[in-house]
Amino acid sequence: RIAVFGSINMDLVAYVDTAPASGETVSGSRFAQVPGGKGANQAVAAARAGGDVAFFGAVGDDAFGTQLRTNLVETGIEVSEMRTVPGASGVAHIVVESTGANSIIVIAGANAAMTDVSERDRRLLEGSAALLLQLELPMEGVIAAARAGREAGVPTVLTPAPARELPAELIGLVDLLVPNQHEAAAITGEREPRAALAELLKLVPEAIITLGADGSLYGRRGADPVHVPAPRVEAVDTTAAGDTFCGAFAVARAEGRAPEDALRFAAAASALSVQRLGASSSMPGRAEIEEAIAK
End-to-end CA distance of the chain: 28
Q: Of 68-76, 102-110, 150-158, 238-246, which part binds ligand ADP (CB under 6 A)?
A: 238-246
Report in angstroms how near the CB of residue 195 gets to ligand ADP at its nearest. Answer: 17
Is the bond leading into 162 cis (omega within 30 degrees of zero)?
Answer: yes
Question: Coil, strand, or helix at residue 18?
Answer: coil
Q: Which residue, 71 or 159, has its beta carbon nearer to ligand ADP?
A: 159
Q: Binding site membership: which residues?
A: 9-11, 37-41, 136, 180, 210-215, 237, 239, 242-243, 273, 276, 278, 282
Q: Which of 200, 230, 254, 279 lies at the binding interface for ligand ADP (CB under 6 A)?
A: 230
User: Rounded to an integer, what is the distance from CA 53 to the centroid of its chain?
Assistant: 13
- Cα(150)–Cα(17) distance, integer angstroms: 48
Taking CB under 6 A as the rule, does residue 210 contact ligand ADP?
yes
Q: Is 133 a binder of ligand ADP (CB under 6 A)? A: no
Structural element, H or E, at residue 250? helix 241-254
- Angle between helix axes 286-294 and 259-274 (nearest 10 degrees) is 110
How many Å apart are CA 279 and CA 252, to the nearest integer?
Answer: 21
Cα–Cα distance measured from residue 100 to residue 64, given in angstroms and rounded to the nearest whole number: 26
Residue 9's nearest CA partner among 279, 284, 273 is 279
14/32 Cα distance (integer angstroms) = 7
User: Using CB under 6 A, which of the segments 26-34, 145-153, 196-204, 264-272 binds ligand ADP?
Assistant: 264-272
62 as an active site residue: the answer is no
Is residue 113 at the binding interface for ligand ADP, with CB under 6 A as the rule? no
Q: Which residue is nearest to ligand ADP (CB)?
A: 242
Looking from the CA of 111 toward its CB, the CA atoms found within 13 Å total 27
Return the number of the residue (42 or 71) whose C-beta is nearest ligand ADP. 42
If one asks whether residue 274 binds ligand ADP (CB under 6 A), the answer comes out as yes
> Site for ligand ADP (CB under 6 A): which residue of 57, 193, 215, 247?
215
- Applying CB under 6 A, does 170 fall inside the site for ligand ADP? no
Residues that bind ligand ADP (CB under 6 A): 180, 210-213, 215-216, 230-231, 233, 235, 238, 241-242, 245, 267, 270-271, 274
Q: Please list the active-site residues.
A: 243
